[in-house]
Amino acid sequence: MSFHDIFKSSFLESVSEFSIVDTILGMAIAVVIGLYIFMIYKKTLLGIMYSSSFALTLVGLSLVTTLVIMAVTSNVVLSLGMVGALSIVRFRAAIKEPVEIVFLFWALAAGIVIGAGMIPLAIIGSAMIGVILLLFANRKIHNHPYILVLNLQDEKAEQEALGILGQDVERYIVKSKTVNAGGIELTAELRTKDATTDFVNQIQNIMGVENATLVSYNGEYMS
């Protein structure tokens, strides 16, 4: 049997058929799970991190992936064409938060599983992923990392400022200290008690403290 005869066999003619009922059911389940992913994304990324366009993309991605997998599984020839066509696709969308990658893969995986006909797996898996993300997103964070930058005139002001830090913050560590003719510049990483920052006002009132700046810190950038 030649290569041409293989693609002319009745096997390909039989698998090219698809069920309209199964297609409608699969797309409907994809919409429901896509909206569920949309809801989890909206609840876990609040404020400036939330992107409405990205959230809408998650729903569309679930639907498109489901449609593609249904087409691939129904026709072998079409699946070969899909592999070639999708291999040239490149995505250039910027990811603002690392957790957004999780939602992208979640939407893709849900579409693949639904398109393959494993609807119970898609429902159970998506429910578990959503619950886990909600639990970790709503976890209370009691330790708030900060960077404190002090401009001091002399060592006496430095000792008084460090004394206040030792009493009013949970813990601190001096990251850098620069001494020059103009005075002392000291940078300390610290974690507050219940997010209180009153100690900055106390340090600013110390004789010899020219400037006290407190900024949030996450290990990558300061804002």
Q: In this predicted model, what pLDDT tens digit does every residue of 12-59 receive, in sequence order?
A: 454 455 678 888 898 999 999 999 999 998 888 765 567 788 888 889
Q: Report the helix count and the strand count for the chain, using DSSP H and E.
A: 9, 4
| Of the residues 117, 137, 157, the one at which a domain ends | 137
Distances (CA, A) of 221 to 60, 147, 189, 192: 33, 11, 13, 18
Domain, as residue range, for 198: 145-216
What is the chain's mean pLDDT, rounded? Answer: 79
Q: Say what the pTM is.
A: 0.59
Residue 42 lies in a domain: yes
Residue 221 lies in a domain: no
Do 121 and 160 lie in a common domain?
no
The count of structural domains within the chain is 2
Do 131 and 183 lie in a common domain?
no
Do 126 and 174 lie in a common domain?
no
Tell me the mean pLDDT in the region 101-105.
88
Distances (CA, A) of 213 to 3, 121, 210: 74, 52, 10
CA 16 to chain CA mean position, Å:
39
- Percent of the chain at pLDDT > 70 equals 73
Do 125 and 52 lie in a common domain?
yes
Rg (CA), the chain: 29
Cα separation, 169 vs 190, whole angstroms: 7
Q: What is the pLDDT of residues 106-147, one digit of tens each?
A: 998 999 899 888 889 999 999 999 999 888 876 655 556 889
Do 196 and 131 lie in a common domain?
no
Is 145 within 8 Å of 223 (Cβ atoms)? no
Do 71 and 108 lie in a common domain?
yes
Residue 107 lies in a domain: yes
Cα separation, 109 vs 15, whole angstroms: 24
